[in-house]
Structure 1
Amino acid sequence: MDAGRVDAGRVDFGRQVLILRRRRVAVRLEWRSIVVCAVLAVAVAGLALLALMTGSYRLGAGKVISALAGGETGLVHTIVVQWRLPRVCAALVFGAALGGSGAIFQSLLRNPLADPGIIGFSQGSYTGALIVILLVNGTYLELGLGALLGGTATAVVVYALAYRRGVQGFRLIVVGIGVSAMLGSLNAWLILRAQLEEAMSAATWGAGSLNGVSWDQVILGGAGVLVLLLLAATLSRPMRHLELGDDTAAAQGVRVPATRLGLVVVGVALTATVTAASGPILFVSLVAPQIARRLTRTAGITLAPAAWVGALLCLAADYVAQHVAPAPLPVGVITVMLGGGYLGWLLFTEARRRL
């Protein structure tokens, strides 16, 4: 197989781009996005190393790197590989999934408030997983299936209620907020009706926590997230076309209904995968795509930078929750504080812009 050929291209895109061609397939990458992703990857690696070093038993960077390379045995290996590394990997994988999910929905609805948590999809996934926990006491795969079914059912209901000669972003967000509030009440009722131990466990899990995440959940969830992000990447170009409007996208050869359905399914599945393992970690999917867009200075939402920012935010929030807060907290508490402040700032700036 011939090696891929790199060509700078002759079309002026208004910014520096890199075009990779292999036979009939061509991929256009913006240099600024590549640099931003590289910087974010370095930041993620540095923060991950810091998280592996920090804890009640502090370790040096050399010890951590040696343990990761297989050069340590005994207590150091157990602490790094068995105790701390699954949590760090879970924060990175789940943060990337939430960033990618937020990028999909904000691009589809062309609205910076289009967060799966705000429009009810996360709450629906939580409801499905909560039913499995309280009624079936199921495994992680059963939790994932319940979360996926709950999120999908919620998406169908929200889209059906918001549909009126098409789906408008603002109408869908308003309907989603209402459905999310009703599902929140349902979830509270389910917890109140449960046994005390089950209710306490479900309430703690519902805050969004990485406590107790095992390698099995990381491996299964990571494999699912990887597949879903690859599917999202194959739909990223039609997704950018949909940002121009359905008519324009159709004129460019995009099968609008099928593409939109595929993106919604992938976005809901990403959210459900995270919810099944750690509960609903809110607001990462709201904040990450907007930070990524400002860093890359692109006209629309891009998937890869949003996923990297999501991974960095989730890992940073978990580090703050475990090592900076006065007492260990669920990661969801920190992300809600971060996302609530960002949401207030976003509403304030949008209001000032329209004055």
Structure 2
Amino acid sequence: MNRTTAGGTSAAAPTVPAAPTAVRSAVRPAGHAVLRAGRASFLVHRRAAVVATLLAVLLTVAVVAYLCVGESFVSPVQAVDVLLGRPSPDTFVVGTLRLPRLVVGLLAGAAFGVAGALVQTVARNPLASPDVIGVTHGAGAATVAAMSFGLVSHTSLPYVSVGGGLGAALLVYAFAWRRGLNASRFVLVGIGVSIALGSLTQLFLTKGDFLVAQQAKVWLTGSLNSRGYDQAAPLGLVLLVAVPAALWAARAQRGASFDDDTAVALGIRLDRLRLGLTVLGVVLASVATGATGPVDFVALLAPQIARRLTRTAQIPLLSSALTGALVVVVADLLARRLFSPVELPVGVLTAAVGAPYLMWLIARTRGRSGGSTS
């Protein structure tokens, strides 16, 4: 439709559809796509979706390799037949010896990856993880005490670990709280609590039964040896129950990454948000620790690898879970075969990779802070 101006010329009236298009482009950031399921819609980062798909493919390859490689080699076709429940001469090797251990590794790695992502989001610090701030040390201390003094059965150890991890996290949260949660203070207090709980664990080892103490020392290195469905069941149940909470956490991460002043200006209840994310991360890390022992540095490495691959503002939870599972499975496969017939605990390999990475990360962080103050 045209209208006549004061000079007698005609001008076209603005079209109506331009405004909704502008609104849609403003609401949807660049590099994102909208995924709709009925009335619900989700904003998906394209690069994060591609990375998650590639990680899933790599994890599938690692799973097949894990089931095939060992003292006796099993062809991929036979391994897949066992997974599908078809008759196979390798059913005992694959289905009884390797598959239960693999399931525990997958679940524990995913739990460590998500737990690390949540703790680093709350602390706003790449150095923070459940094993650095004392959560896994609390779970380990409680579990070693229960093992050394015969307080509970082995099937109950994951639940004891949850109690120890929650207690350690509560202690760190209480000491770090000063009219708000400061990220640096949170990490420093967590390191101090970790040292104290490590000393307490050593005390339990010296006071308990000798043979049980030796088993507890092996457990403290983090190992998937002799792990089976008894350990996988509570871990899988917790992960299943945590799925709705993880969906909420994925949306809450953006608010938790704000500083206190920005959150107050936006009307975000930051303390409750951080507390919810922390509790979820602590529960996941504690249950995984109870199933496998404290497999160090997986929760530190996985979120940072996932974030660097996806290049997202927040740490992607799905990619962190896939990366954690991939790290544990590959590390355990190498631990079984590198020094065969001697089998290393998986925690030895993850620590060998994670410790240098932690030192590099500390040096890099100090370099950045030094450059900013000069």
Q: Same fold (TM over 0.5)?
A: yes
Secondary structure of 1:72 counterpart: coil
CA distance in 2, matches of 1:245, 1:46: 41
Q: Name the counterpart of 1:3.
A: none
Would the aligned equivalents of 1:36 and 1:296 in 2 still touch at CA under 8 Å? Answer: yes
Match of 1:105 among 119, 135, 144: 119
Q: Name the counterpart of 1:124.
A: 138
Match of 1:62 among 60, 69, 77: 77
CA distance in 1, matches of 2:188, 2:243: 27
Match of 2:224 among 196, 210, 215: 210
Instruction: Specify the structure having the higher radius of gyration (Cα).
Output: 2
Q: Name the counterpart of 1:351.
A: 366
The answer as to 2:296 corresponding to 1:282 is: yes
TM-score by length of 1: 0.92
Match of 1:30 among 40, 45, 51: 45
TM-score by length of 2: 0.88
Deviation (angstroms), 1:229? 4.1
Compare 317-326 and 193-202 and name the one that shifted more.
317-326
Q: Which amino acid aligns with 2:59?
A: V
Secondary structure of 1:136 counterpart: coil
Deviation (angstroms), 1:312? 0.7
Would the aligned equivalents of 1:106 and 1:112 in 2 still touch at CA under 8 Å? Answer: yes
Q: Name the counterpart of 2:203.
A: 189
Structure 2, unaligned runs of 5 or more: 1-23
Deviation (angstroms), 1:141? 4.9
Deviation (angstroms), 1:138? 2.2
The answer as to 2:296 corresponding to 1:315 is: no
Deviation (angstroms), 1:129? 1.4
Would the aligned equivalents of 1:103 and 1:289 in 2 still touch at CA under 8 Å? Answer: yes
Secondary structure of 1:10 counterpart: helix
Would the aligned equivalents of 2:149 and 2:209 in 1 still touch at CA under 8 Å? Answer: no
The answer as to 2:135 corresponding to 1:134 is: no
Would the aligned equivalents of 2:158 and 2:234 in 1 still touch at CA under 8 Å? Answer: no
Secondary structure of 1:114 counterpart: coil
Q: Name the counterpart of 1:47.
A: 62
Q: Which digits, 9 at most, give the CA deviation of each residue in 1:214-258, with x for residues without a partner?
A: 112213211212322431221221222110224434554543333
CA distance in 2, matches of 1:144, 1:215: 13
Are the structure 2 counterparts of residues 141 and 56 from structure 1 closer, same or farther at C-alpha, using a change threshold of 3 Å? closer
Q: Which amino acid aligns with 2:142?
A: G
Compare 274-283 and 233-242 and name the one that shifted more.
233-242
Would the aligned equivalents of 1:97 and 1:229 in 2 still touch at CA under 8 Å? Answer: no
Compare 171-180 and 234-243 and name the one that shifted more.
234-243
RMSD: 1.9
Q: Which digits, 9 at most, give the CA deviation of each residue in 1:92-114, with x for residues without a partner?
A: 11101000000001011100001
Match of 1:95 among 76, 90, 109: 109
The answer as to 2:295 corresponding to 1:256 is: no
Match of 2:96 among 82, 87, 104: 82
CA distance in 2, matches of 1:261, 1:78: 45
Q: Name the counterpart of 1:168.
A: 182
Q: Name the counterpart of 1:178.
A: 192
CA distance in 2, matches of 1:67, 1:128: 38
Aligned counterparts, 1:290-305, within 5 A: 290-305=304-319
Q: Name the counterpart of 1:5.
A: none
CA distance in 2, matches of 1:347, 1:26: 40
Compare 233-242 and 19-28 and name the one that shifted more.
19-28
The answer as to 2:359 corresponding to 1:331 is: no
Paired residues in the alignment total 347
Q: Which amino acid aligns with 1:175?
A: V
The answer as to 2:103 corresponding to 1:72 is: no
Deviation (angstroms), 1:285? 0.5
Secondary structure of 1:11 counterpart: helix
Deviation (angstroms), 1:89? 1.4
Task: After the TM superposition, list the runs of 4 or more consecutive aligned residues in structure 1 that deviate by more than 4 angstroms.
Answer: 250-253
Are the structure 2 counterparts of residues 24 and 241 from structure 1 closer, same or farther at C-alpha, using a change threshold of 3 Å? farther
CA distance in 2, matches of 1:347, 1:121: 20
Deviation (angstroms), 1:213? 0.9
Q: Name the counterpart of 2:12.
A: none
Would the aligned equivalents of 1:140 and 1:277 in 2 still touch at CA under 8 Å? Answer: no
Q: Which digits, 9 at most, give the CA deviation of each residue in 1:100-132, with x for residues without a partner?
A: 000001011100001111111110011111222
